[in-house]
Amino acid sequence: MGDQEKDRLRKELDERERGEEDSFFARQNREALERLRAGGHAAPAVEARCPRCGAQLQKVDHLGVVIDCCPNQHGMWVDHSQLQVLAEREKNAWLAKVIHAMSFAKR
Ligand SMILES: [Zn+2]
């Protein structure tokens, strides 16, 4: 086997290893994304009830996130993933206000 042949094989091996690494990370990302998607829809199958009056909680859309609310105004319930989405939306709204204020200050 000549040196040229060895170099070629080594290069080919390197590329194959890199390719496998890429697909490993691609698979990891895909799995993480699937877990995220599953978590995002992990709404309890059982019907939630208000701990104070026992009324069946009603689904209410708040900033695009559906949350459980007591029909008798005892409160709202959000799970962790819903809270994260809400926090993100609120943060964006806050940030949008700052950017807006800054653009006015420049004038
Ligand atoms: Zn209630």
pLDDT, position 44: 47
Compute the distance from residue 86 Cα to the ligand 1 centre, in Å.
Answer: 22
pTM above threshold 0.85 = no
pLDDT in tens, 66-88: 889 999 999 988 888 888 888 88
Give the residues across from 61 on adjacent strands.
Answer: 66
Asked if 50 and 74 touch (Cβ cutoff 8 Å), the reply is yes
Compute the distance from residue 29 Cα to the ligand 1 centre, in Å.
Answer: 41
Asked if 76 and 62 touch (Cβ cutoff 8 Å), the reply is yes
Q: Which of 8-12, 72-76, 97-101 has the lowest mean pLDDT?
A: 97-101
Compute the distance from residue 69 Cα to the ligand 1 centre, in Å.
Answer: 8
The residue ranges of DSSP E strands in 1-107, in sequence order, are 58-62, 65-69, 76-77
Compute the distance from residue 63 Cα to the ligand 1 centre, in Å.
Answer: 22
* Range among 21-25, 46-50, 64-68, 91-95 rated most confident: 64-68
pLDDT in tens, 35-46: 777 765 555 456
